[in-house]
Amino acid sequence: MGNTVGSRGVLTQRQKDILIGTLLGDAHLEQNGKYTRLRVDHCDKHKAYIFWLAHEFTPFSLLPRQIVEKDKRNGKTYKRWHFSTKSLPLFDEFRTLFYKRRKKFISERLENFISPLSLAIWYMDDGFRRRDSKGFYLCTSSFSDKEQKILQYILNAKFALITNIHHQHALGRIFIPSASADRFNQLIKPNILPIFKYKLL
């Protein structure tokens, strides 16, 4: 992966692309002491993905760990996997890109950073394929309507993807319809991990 550069305290381009993708999904950057760290949590069945991410962020990553929690309401036990990086200044610029007053947000600047690898990571992290038709969803309901429109613009400007916003219970999310489904599938397929192949066409 070329971590020779990374060992000097600089993210490789591949690491930057992966970071952008997972921040578009469920990952978070948080201030921890003086500097910033990346935090990622996924369900137990995505253990392989967490370990893959941890490996990709070598030498900045800490060993993934399993978290077991009991739901007091129903008594059921739930397992998830967590990984975080060390707190380092090299993550600070991405916190500036993605956060405003401690809340994640989307700006037009993202167009300069997102790549096909970022797109694949975003989809593995927080997307799914529609079963009743040829199309894909990116779960973007945590972003405002304005931010979702910015994401639509970026997907079109950078990857020539036509998208719509579908609403469910007043929450919008990006839908990639059949007209762009084959192109989207082609863009992400080379970087989709085996455990997520079921998400492809």
Q: Which domains does the chain have, with CATH numbers?
A: 1-100 (3.10.28.10), 106-195 (3.10.28.10)
Euclidean distance between the first and the last CA atom of the chain, given in angstroms as a whole number: 28
Cα 135 off chain centre by? 19
Each residue of 3-33: pLDDT tens digit? 444 445 899 999 999 999 999 999 999 999 9
Q: How far is CA 10 from CA 3, 29, 140, in A?
A: 9, 17, 29
Each residue of 39-94: pLDDT tens digit? 999 999 999 999 999 999 999 999 999 999 988 888 889 999 999 999 999 999 99
Note the pTM of the prediction, 2 decimals.
0.92
Q: How far is CA 103 from CA 97, 114, 148, in A?
A: 11, 20, 15
pLDDT number for residue 116: 98
| CA–CA separation, 88 and 163 (whole Å) | 36
Each residue of 155-175: pLDDT tens digit? 999 999 999 999 988 889 999
